[in-house]
């Protein structure tokens, strides 16, 4: 299918990129009333990118026949005529690639909806029996997916990959005379054996119960300890200013000439790691056919690289980094990290014990509102107060404000207790002396 499409594009004396994305997934979500959502879905389609005289157009086709593909290529060529020419529109000629073993676990293929239903309902029961104060389970979800991707270009690139993923997540509420508290946990892996869905349920219930009686603390300067889930969410949005496209468009507080400068804490090394099979999201090449590689974006506080697709790399006269990805055949390749994480230099226990006065942040809200141009953010946080290296009491409704540059410059310790989510990974992180608004 991909080869045929590429041949049609070449016959039209155009250049092109074709990606076939095949996805099969099953999932079940349950509440205390029983299964709420049962899903089994299979999707197969093509993304076609045609470049003619520097003019680019994109077309997507679901379950295409041979005739559909011919019409799709023709449509893309017709659309390209109306586009502005751009010398940044190129395709990959990187033909060779090294496969990564261990990305696919065939055991997920044997998991049916009945198995997922049983696991989902067991998570509900596990959360409820953890503590009598756990009164509600809003969603306990278990799912598996298998993805196959084939990427080819008119310059001889043809690459294939197959990978599996499994996930378990749950949100529950605890209630007592002081009010209510939410707990949420999620874990991903290559198969369900890695997840321990019941442990995920217990952790969510524990978080909900420990949040009961939370109060707003006084405004002040606190050391901030982010738990793995919280820092993962921040890192996911923090990558945006490091995107080559945003750098080229001047939509970031960073500039091309910042490469090689020490801008952040010497304790910060920010790594893009797409080739570790034990981490979700790992893949040998991106959706443009560029090979992926492990590299530091920031190393010991020094800005080393941006995340690039072919377009941004060409525009900034830099090398592509293999960070252009699609999430289905309907989307165009966009810049995204893979297993982006802060490199560890400590242990979780050492971090907690080193804090005299601080806040352990378990939940964050509003990260998506951060401004990539200025780097400014203001997020709501909840978690626990830390005094003399000990958790003292739950806190809620406080506001952490500042800039991304300030946050990255104040990082002191990073633990190795990683949770992997695909685009990003998170671990316990200590940031010294941040301004927190309260009462």
Residue written as tokens 């005094």?
Answer: 387
**Check: CATH 2.40.128.20 for 2-210?**
no
In whole angstroms, what is the distance from residue 399 CA to residue 402 CA? Answer: 10
Six token digits for residue 2: 């991909």
Task: Please classify residue 101 by burial: count the beta carbons closer than 10 Å to its beta carbon, then call 0-12 exposed, 13-18 middle and 19+ buried.
Answer: exposed
Could you report the per-residue pLDDT of 11-43, keeping only the tens digit for each?
999 999 999 999 999 999 999 999 999 999 999
The gap from C-alpha 264 to its chain's centroid, in whole angstroms, comes to 22
Residues shown for the chain: 439
Could you report the per-residue pLDDT of 244-253, keeping only the tens digit for each?
999 999 999 9
What would the mean pLDDT of 291-305 be, rounded to a whole number?
97
Would you say residue 60 has pLDDT above 90?
Answer: yes
Using alpha carbons, list the distances in angstroms from residue 118 to 28, 122, 135, 144: 9, 6, 20, 14
Closest CA to 401 of 386, 381, 429, 426: 381
Contact 144, 116 (CB under 8 A): yes
* Confidence grade of residue 56 (pLDDT, cut at 50, 70, 90): very high
Could you report the per-residue pLDDT of 368-413, keeping only the tens digit for each?
888 888 889 999 999 999 999 999 999 999 999 999 999 999 999 9
Residue written as tokens 């979800």?
Answer: 141
Contact 202, 127 (CB under 8 A): yes
In whole angstroms, what is the distance from residue 124 CA to residue 126 CA? Answer: 5
Would you say residue 78 has pLDDT above 80?
Answer: yes
User: What is the pLDDT at residue 298?
Assistant: 97
* Confidence grade of residue 238 (pLDDT, cut at 50, 70, 90): confident
Give the chain's largest Cα–Cα span.
Answer: 73
In whole angstroms, what is the distance from residue 131 CA to residue 119 CA? Answer: 19
In whole angstroms, what is the distance from residue 406 CA to residue 382 CA? Answer: 20
What is the reported pTM?
0.91
Exposure class string for 67-93: b at 16+ Cβ within 10 A, else e: eebeebbeebbebbeebeeeeebbbbe
Question: What is the C-alpha end-to-end distance of the chain, expressed in Å?
Answer: 62
Task: Please classify residue 246 by burial: count the beta carbons closer than 10 Å to its beta carbon, then call 0-12 exposed, 13-18 middle and 19+ buried.
Answer: buried
User: What is the pLDDT at residue 373?
Assistant: 87
User: What is the pLDDT at residue 280?
Assistant: 87
In whole angstroms, what is the distance from residue 317 CA to residue 362 CA? Answer: 41
Could you report the per-residue pLDDT of 353-375, keeping only the tens digit for each?
999 999 999 999 988 888 888 88
Would you say residue 86 has pLDDT above 80?
Answer: yes
Using alpha carbons, list the distances in angstroms from residue 160 to 119, 152, 237: 32, 9, 29
Q: What is the mean pLDDT of the chain?
A: 94
What would the mean pLDDT of 121-129 be, rounded to a whole number?
97
User: What is the pLDDT at residue 398?
Assistant: 94
Task: Please classify residue 135 by burial: count the beta carbons closer than 10 Å to its beta carbon, then call 0-12 exposed, 13-18 middle and 19+ buried.
Answer: middle
User: What is the pLDDT at residue 195?
Assistant: 83
User: What is the pLDDT at residue 332?
Assistant: 86
CB atoms within 10 A of CB 7: 12
Using alpha carbons, list the distances in angstroms from residue 319 to 32, 77, 315: 52, 28, 10
User: What is the pLDDT at residue 42?
Assistant: 95
Q: Where are the domains of the chain?
A: 2-210, 220-437
Contact 385, 375 (CB under 8 A): no
Contact 259, 252 (CB under 8 A): no
Put residue 424 in one of left, alpha, beta given phi > 0 → left and psi -120 to 50 → alpha. Answer: beta
In whole angstroms, what is the distance from residue 26 CA to residue 167 CA? Answer: 11
Would you say residue 422 has pLDDT above 80?
Answer: no
Contact 175, 195 (CB under 8 A): no
Q: Where are the alpha helices (DSSP H) in 58-192?
A: 66-80, 113-130
User: What is the pLDDT at residue 257?
Assistant: 96
């Amino acid at each position: 299918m991909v080869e045929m499409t590429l041949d049609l594009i070449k016959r039209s004396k155009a250049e092109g990129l074709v990606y076939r994305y095949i996805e099969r997934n099953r999932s079940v979500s349950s509440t205390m009333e029983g299964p709420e959502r049962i899903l089994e879905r299979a999707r197969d389609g093509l993304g076609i990118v045609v470049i003619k005289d520097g003019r680019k157009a994109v077309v997507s086709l679901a379950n295409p026949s041979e005739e559909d593909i011919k019409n799709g290529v023709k449509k893309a060529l017709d659309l390209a005529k109306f586009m502005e020419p751009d010398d940044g529109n190129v395709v990959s000629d990187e033909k060779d690639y090294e496969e990564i073993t261990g990305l696919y676990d065939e055991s997920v293929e044997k998991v049916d909806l009945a198995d997922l239903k049983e696991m989902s309902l067991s998570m509900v029961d596990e959360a409820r029996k953890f503590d009598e104060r756990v009164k509600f389970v809003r969603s306990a979800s278990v799912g598996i997916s298998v993805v196959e991707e084939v990427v080819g270009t008119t310059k001889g690139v043809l690459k294939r990959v197959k990978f599996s993923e499994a996930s378990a997540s749950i949100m529950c509420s605890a209630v007592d005379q002081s009010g209510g508290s939410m707990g949420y946990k999620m874990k991903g892996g290559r198969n369900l054996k890695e997840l321990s869905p019941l442990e995920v349920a217990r952790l969510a219930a524990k978080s909900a119960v420990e949040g009961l009686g939370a109060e707003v603390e006084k405004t002040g300067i606190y050391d901030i300890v982010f738990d793995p889930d919280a820092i993962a969410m921040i890192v996911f949005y923090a990558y945006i200013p490091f995107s080559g496209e945003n750098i080229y468009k001047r939509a970031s507080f960073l500039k091309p000439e910042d490469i090689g400068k020490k801008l952040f804490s010497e304790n910060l090394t920010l790594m893009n790691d797409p080739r570790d099979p034990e981490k979700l999201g790992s893949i040998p090449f991106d959706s443009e056919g560029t090979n992926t590689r492990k590299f530091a974006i920031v190393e010991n506080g020094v800005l080393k690289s941006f995340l690039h697709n072919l377009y941004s790399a060409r525009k900034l006269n830099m090398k592509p980094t293999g960070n252009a990805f699609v999430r289905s055949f309907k989307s165009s390749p966009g810049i995204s990290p893979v297993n982006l994480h802060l490199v560890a230099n400590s242990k979780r226990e050492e971090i907690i014990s080193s804090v005299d006065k601080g806040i352990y942040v378990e939940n964050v809200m509003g990260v998506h509102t951060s401004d990539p141009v200025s780097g400014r953010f203001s997020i709501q946080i909840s978690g626990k107060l830390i005094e003399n290296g000990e958790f003292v009491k739950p806190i809620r409704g406080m506001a952490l404000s500042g800039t991304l540059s300030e946050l990255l410059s104040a990082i002191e310790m990073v633990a190795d207790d990683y949770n992997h989510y695909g685009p990003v990974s998170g671990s316990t992180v200590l940031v010294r002396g941040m301004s927190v608004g309260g009462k």
